[in-house]
Amino acid sequence: MRPNKIKQMWHAGQYVTLGWLSVSHGFTAEIMARQGFDALCVDLQHGTAEMRDVWPMLQAISQTETVPVVRVAWNEPATIMKALDLGAYGIVVPLVNTAAEAAMAVAACRYPPIGMRSSGPVRALHYGGPDYVAHANDEIVVMAMIETKEGLANLDAICATPGLDAVYIGPADLSFALGMAPRGDNPDPVHLATCDRILETAHKHGIKAVMHCASAAFAAGAVKRGFDMVMLTSDLSCMIAGARLQLDELKAKAG
């Protein structure tokens, strides 16, 4: 089976860069995949993609060495299994509140006897290799998002869930949970301390911690604080930033 670069980098003690796909188009996915991210995530929760968009976007990513990841819209086994069958090598599950919910997400990503994933890797078999089914349980990465009051209350138990590879911080919803206005790259000391507590708890249980960032500066800080993966930027953010940069430069130079 094709090895999962995310796991290889983690085993080597390296941090992983993750890009984000909010636009549901194969060409956008291909362009982002060619920029050098270690992994790239198709966002089914808040992006414009629907399940019918996933397979062409994964095909586009697969032209490169970038690892294909999907954030599902909900902790729903059928959707998780479908994304995996289409070739996702990592699954991000939002709004995980309890150890039982984390265990359900893990089970949907693992074939029996470990989990309940149904056998039918229609595209994953061709992307991963003919021995995909025999090794998928060891290669697929499962990440549970910690971003609610209940999730924080159950953090220790969630991180102790057998088979869970990482917890993923959703900073905007985590801001809600802490009584703050939602924002990325939140500099509030309470927010930062909460993120560090999530990181420490994950590492205590031998799993990884992921920080969703909105800038290179904040992502670099997260890496220095010990985070194992940082989401750096999205296709949409780059489009907006690039257009604004050119317009601002034109106005400044043209007067």
- The residues annotated as belonging to the active site are 46
Tell me how far apart the alpha carbons of residues 39 and 245 are, in angstroms, rounded to a whole number.
26
Q: Is 72 within 8 Å of 79 (Cβ atoms)?
A: yes
Question: Hey, how many other C-beta atoms are within 10 angstroms of the C-beta on 208?
Answer: 22
Q: Is 186 within 8 Å of 175 (Cβ atoms)?
A: yes
Question: Hey, how many other C-beta atoms are within 10 angstroms of the C-beta on 82?
Answer: 19
- Give the pair of three-digit tokens for residue 248: 């601002």
Tell me how far apart the alpha carbons of residues 192 and 186 are, in angstroms, rounded to a whole number.
7
Q: Which amino acid is at 41?
A: C
Residues in a beta bridge with 71 = 43, 92
Q: Is 165 within 8 Å of 207 (Cβ atoms)?
A: yes
Tell me how far apart the alpha carbons of residues 131 and 137 are, in angstroms, rounded to a whole number.
12
Tell me how far apart the alpha carbons of residues 149 and 168 are, in angstroms, rounded to a whole number.
15
Tell me how far apart the alpha carbons of residues 183 and 186 are, in angstroms, rounded to a whole number.
6
